[in-house]
Chain A
Amino acid sequence: MAEYSALRVISEGLRGNRGWRPAWRKAEPKPRYDVIIVGGGGHGLATAYYLAKNHGIRQVAVVERGPIGLGNVGRNTTIVRSNYLLPENYHFYEWSLKLWEGLSHELNYNVMFSQRGVLNLAHSPEQLDAYAERGNAMRLAGIDADLIGREAVGQLCPGLDLSEEARFPVVGGLIQRRAGTARHDAVAWGYAHAADRLGVDIIENAPVTDFIMEAGEVAGVVTPRGEIRAEKVGVAVAGMTSEVMRLAGIDGLPIESHVLQGFVSEPVKPLVNCVVTYGAGHMYVSQSDKGGLVFGGSLDFYNSYAQRGNLPAVHEMARELLAVFPNAARIKLLRSWGGVMDMSLDGSPIIAPGPLPGLYLNCGWCYGGFKATPASGWCFAHTIAREEPHALSAPFTLTRFAEGRHIDEAGTGAMAGLH
């Protein structure tokens, strides 16, 4: 019987739920592994899982400064989609979406991937044309996308302001129906669980304080729980990238850490049936299975390592949410939080070997990292195991900035806060 199944839930329920064991072991560090992954977030845990699963590398340690899953995988708005404009992005994110579609089965852990659709609202004919450009790009690449009119928007989302009284009346939208949301914590726990069962050691409360260097090569990491050695070290620490890489002597990466706030309302009965994004600003909202509206907006627009934001971004978010759902004015905000985003200078990620021998880097996810989790792990594991980039992540080099090969979805150039 699978460790987790309805049958097991029933049989355990009848026996007082005494038979469940820890979802992952609290592993003690061994002196040596084949691969160390620094960062027990979604990407790091997924990488460890695919190293074991796809590449048969079982001597893998994930070292995490605190408890796992409390970085960006535990503080995001849970949106999963592949509706990108640029080929480098949509090919990669579509593979991720395909992995999402089988993820609960793959991990034997319900990550509650809900393919409820992501709807981008259009507020002018020009914007609809721009969405057509994106949707056509997706369709030509075999990715689902549809343009829908105002009536169809209304049917999908009762309560959404379709009136001419809206400041920016809705004319239609682009929908990707296979896109949706997932239970963010479950993704971290699911990968941790599945990786653990394949023998991966998940070492919590072990901040990396230094890298072990031997003859110019990275040979392991130093933590308060001891030195841990490995032939290869992968770094997947999102907003902490610059700080961690500095320990290896690498400075001046094309990354800025910015704070992005997320918000959850009190729970209400089903109200928002898909993910909705506002086209006249930058706001996205969905509803969790528990009933809370989950929403976010733009960055706070300043470098930050604090997991807290400030009021201007809160006001902006509320203004935009109510522009779309004027009925939500009476719903109450229940929680907010801040996440530290690894903003790259063209808005696209970096998955690459280097910049030192023995070191591999995964960063620059801006605020799109959650949906990338499976493909990021998949491609990063490939990059580490085979010592060469995976075809899907090959464009996401570290050198592309110097070369001028930006993958700039927003077209805003090297301004981290604007992506």
Chain B
Amino acid sequence: MPGFRLASGGTRIDRSARFTFTFDGAPVEAFAGDTIASALIASGRSIVARSFKYHRPRGVFSAGAEEPNALVTVGSGAVREPNVNAATRLAAPGMEVSGQNAFPSVERDIGAVGEKLSPFLAAGFYYKTFIGPLKRSWMWYEPAIRRAAGMGRASLEPDPARYEKASAFADVLVVGAGPAGLAAALTAGRAGARVILAEAAPGPGGALDLEEADIDGRPAGEWAAAATVELAGMENVTLMPRTHVWGYYDGGVLAALEDCGGEGETRCRHWRIEARQAVLATGAIERPIVFAGNDRPGVMLASAGLAYARRYGAAPGGNVILFCNNDEAWRSAGLLAEAGVKIAAIVDPRTEILDALARPLAERGAEIILSHVVAAARGVKRVEGATIVPVGEAALAEAAGNIDRPGAQAQESEQGEDAAPPAPGGALERACDTILVSGGFNPVINLASQAGGPPVWREEIAAFVPGEPRQAFIAAGAAAGAPTLEIAINQGAEAGALAASAAGFEARNEELAVKIPVEGLRVTTEDGGLLPLFEVEPQGAKPGKAADKAFVDLQHDVTAADIRLAHQEGFADAEHLKRYTTLGMANDQGRTSALAGLAILAGEREMPLPAVGSTRFRPPAIPVPLGTLAGRERGRHAAPVRRSPLHHAHLAAGAQMMEAGLWMRPRIYPKRGETLFAAYTREARHVRRAVGIADVSTLGKIEVAGPDAAAFLDRVYANNFSNLAVGKARYGLMLREDGFVFDDGTAWRLAEDRYLATTTTAKAAEVMLHLEFLAAAAFPELKVSLTSVSDQYAGIAVAGPKARELLARLVEGTGMDNDAFPFMGVREATVGGAPALLARLSFSGENAYEVYVGADHGPFIWKLLLEKGADLEVAPYGLEAMGTLRIEKGHVAGPELNGRVSAHDLGMEKLLSTKKPFVGKPLAQRPALSEPGRLQLVGVIAADEAFRAGAHLVAGPAEQPGPSEGHITSVTFSPALGKTIGLALLKGGRERRGESLYAADPIRGGHCRVEVVSPHFVDPKGERLHG
């Protein structure tokens, strides 16, 4: 096939930089600046894709984000990217591009035979079939349907690219650097506002390069370039090219995607832009007209045809027919002809055309066919011709309603007066390889719709324009429905001034008064003379032969007939129509299809189009790579890692680390070849025999200070703290307002007016929020301050019969014997020379101390304890052994404090003070919280086999387990008892000690006998603690 590259031209390409890339393995020549689509067009390739449902061959349809057809796969392996819009993605040397949704290739796709079944694949067919014959039949049909659906194939490998997130702040964000956007940025920038001008394209100007116009006395291109230079020179203005604003969130927060240009260091960047004011100058896109075969390769939007010729020096075809209903398209055709593209014919339903538009084209040999429409495109793999019928014969689906338009009146009067039926065979056949189509222009209102009221119908352009703003934005230019460049550019200037003033800047009067003159427009009709026309209804080309399909949504293969069928079946609301047919739900977000769909629906419902309503736009306005929304928070960096100050000491000791909550914690310190079981039982045994040290830095630590600190703690803990002596600690139980257990911990009285409260590791942040809320909202009269000091301290538990002896060697400033430092005592002293807080508390049941030193001192003190205690056989113990020791003592932890237990369930009702009010007290006293049948804390001991956490307690053997009566929350092998033990929550458990039950673990294949016992397995009287 001959190439379609024009001999000259191409404002965006550099003909001196030539390279090749491949499409489906075949080399394609391209110039720097070419998009994939422009290079494919220039290479003469017609078929670039296959359609979603019918696998029809498809070519490039547009030159922008609205592209419905030309989705391709780029790259392979880990960087394989499906569904790339070939019309906007720049080609690059060596790029591997492939067609998708086709086998073996888009050129020859065997899937196309499926189109023969299309009568049975109408809208919603799948809701009516695949139901039987069996209940699970869908599971049989579904895999085949899934394989047929989807578009491109995604990579299975992690994406190696780097994505970034960034924030920006503006007084005025101008979206779109077309004429209106540039003008807005200029006036706002000159007023001194911080302006961000974001533009999706690589350069400014918007569609000015498709115009022949003078602005401010010079050619439009020059004006745009000068404007850009001026803006770039302003310190308060930031230009953001290749940045597509896609989301308008609450409070003036907008989201944008910056394309950083391929597989460089950063692939793309997500911008979160806080804008006090926004000017939405997002332009307009051309809309097609629906007719039979309107999806054939070679059918293209008229402005896109011009864009390919002017920007890329690529002719849309060699023999072009233009089908349009507006003057703008005629101007495009004129410029195309000037660029050297052969315009064979122009078909327009209107009865008359300005001579200034028609004459130049006629002079170049174009056949002018007025009062006609294209009824069908012929050809399969490429357009071969057009069937053209007189408007009187074609049933036109107009923007129904009172179309008060000169063109329309002319047409009506023609129909009225010239009532003779069209002559049979009035159809014209014209050969062509390309049909350019233009049905008018739709303002791009995605962002305005996200942040505003329902869009408003504008009769003169037969399209929706932005509705009432619900945030601080002004729509301007073509996006606001401005019909001419002159109006658009002045709207932009005014919007920029208004936005700047609204943001508090003096947009000087003279500047507000200044209108940028727009001169030299060759066409001066105010409104472009549009005759609304959305569809030429399909008509049988020959008797007995159905017309080809007429597509509304090209990407989703939604036809005009589908929309009529949906209406017939009652899916007549715009939102129902969308969902039933999938109209407008493809990658192109319905840019070229939504309005035509509504127009057809309006025709069926016999009401004006705007009365049918429209669907609301939601973010994102363009497809956004998910990677960019996560930015750098991927892989290892998906979430912060919290390391204790002692982290490296654990690594040095050979600890096996594990994640618990957000923390990395030492699970065990295995000796060579030691199993998990051997290690933790050794460590636990060692603590009971000698002395162990453990890292408790992760506990939440809150300093509660102030004259009312004691009163505050009395209110937030269920038990009493005001009567705690200075220098003593106490276990504390905290309830939620609803009376259930929230958290437990200890509070140490450091001074009359100062406590240190500890929380569980898991609830540290929640407890802090809870206490801060209570202090501010519930008890503002109390003079108390709360400070999280969790990260300020390293905490080390020193536990075991030799703990005192070990610490005595290092501690100065306090005696260590029972009198000087009794159980639950708190002392400020030094350890190894470092200032320290010590508390004699124990979760292991052994005589034990918690030693808190400054976080920076932690590693040194840890090392010192190990060194000075070598002869005492001091050894570190990990999380597993800590679990063993606390389970042996019946101390509850996270698995038991599950947010559903009451104090009574845990046997802790005695901690609920009867002498003072406290948070949660009134609701804790509700009878339901202490009913006998509740799940209550018990201990369980394995009769023979071991059981695991997560097993349930049942009465029966494996064959007939019976219902669950509770579950085992924490399990360990107890070296002290030589048996597997556990804590459990059992129905009515308080009264069931001594019962024999089964630990049922069907999901892991276990079922074994257990005995229900007290949860205090070891040293229930606490003699070892006080030793």
Contacts and interface: CB of A to CB of B under 8 A. Distances in A.
Touch test A–B (CB under 8 Å): yes
Interface of A: 4-6, 8-10, 13-14, 16-18, 20-26, 66-67, 69-70, 74, 87, 101-102, 104-105, 108-110, 112-115, 123-124, 126, 128-133, 135-137, 139-141, 145-147, 158-159, 161, 165-168, 183, 185-186, 189-190, 204, 265-271, 280-281, 287, 289-291, 308, 310-311, 314-315, 317-323, 326-337, 403-406, 408, 410-414
Contacts of A406: 738, 740, 900
Given A334-B623, A335-B618, A404-B738, A136 B952 contact: yes
A135 to B, nearest CB: 4
Interface in B340-368: none
B347 to A, nearest CB: 28
A326 B247 contact: no
A335 B119 CA distance: 30
Contacts of B543: none
Given A330-B627, A404-B926, A413-B738, A310 B129 contact: no
Given A140-B1000, A268-B82, A331-B82, A109 B158 contact: no
B126 A112 contact: yes
Interface of B: 52, 78-83, 119-120, 122, 125-132, 135-136, 138-139, 142-143, 145-147, 149-159, 161, 163, 165, 247, 249-250, 253, 255, 272, 450, 561, 565, 568-571, 573, 575-576, 579-580, 582, 585, 587, 589, 618-620, 623-627, 629-631, 633-639, 641, 658-660, 736-740, 742, 895, 898-900, 923, 926-929, 948-952, 954, 961, 963-964, 967, 969, 1000-1004
Contacts of B1002: 136, 139-140
A140 B623 contact: no
B119 A13 contact: yes
Contacts of B618: 308, 335-337
B150 A327 contact: no
A5 B1003 contact: no
A332 B948 contact: no
A365 to B, nearest CB: 20
A9 B120 contact: yes
Instruction: Report, nearest first, the 8 A-B pairs whose CB atoms are least far apart.
Output: A411-B899, A329-B627, A291-B150, A132-B950, A22-B570, A318-B629, A332-B623, A326-B158
Contact of A136 (B82, B122, B1000): B1000
B302 to A, nearest CB: 27
Q: Which interface residue of A67, A102, A412 has the most chain B CB atoms within 10 A?
A: A67
B253 A110 contact: no
A291 B636 CA distance: 29
A139 B1003 CA distance: 7
B138 A112 contact: yes
Contact of A113 (B138, B151, B247, B742): B138
B763 to A, nearest CB: 11
B152 A268 contact: yes
A99 to B, nearest CB: 11
Nearest to B247: A311
A113 B131 CA distance: 10
Given A130-B895, A411-B899, 5 more contacts: A9-B120, A18-B568, A140-B1000, A267-B587, A406-B740
Contacts of A133: 949-952, 967, 969
Contact of B150 (A129, A135, A269, A280): A269
A331 B587 contact: no
B83 A267 contact: yes
A165 to B, nearest CB: 6
Nearest to A272: B154
8 contacts: A5-B129, A9-B128, A13-B120, A22-B570, A165-B635, A329-B161, A333-B620, A413-B899
Contact of A327 (B156, B630, B967): B156
Contacts of B626: 265, 318, 321-322, 328-333
B131 A408 contact: no
A159 B624 CA distance: 20
B127 to A, nearest CB: 5
Q: Which interface residue of A10, A161, A167 has the most chain B CB atoms within 10 A?
A: A167
A124 B83 contact: no
A268 B569 contact: no
Contacts of A183: 127
Nearest to B624: A333
Nearest to B163: A329
B151 A4 contact: no
Nearest to A26: B570
Contacts of A17: 119, 122, 561, 565, 568
Q: Which interface residue of B143, B638, B660, B898 has the most chain A CB atoms within 10 A?
A: B638
Nearest to A333: B624
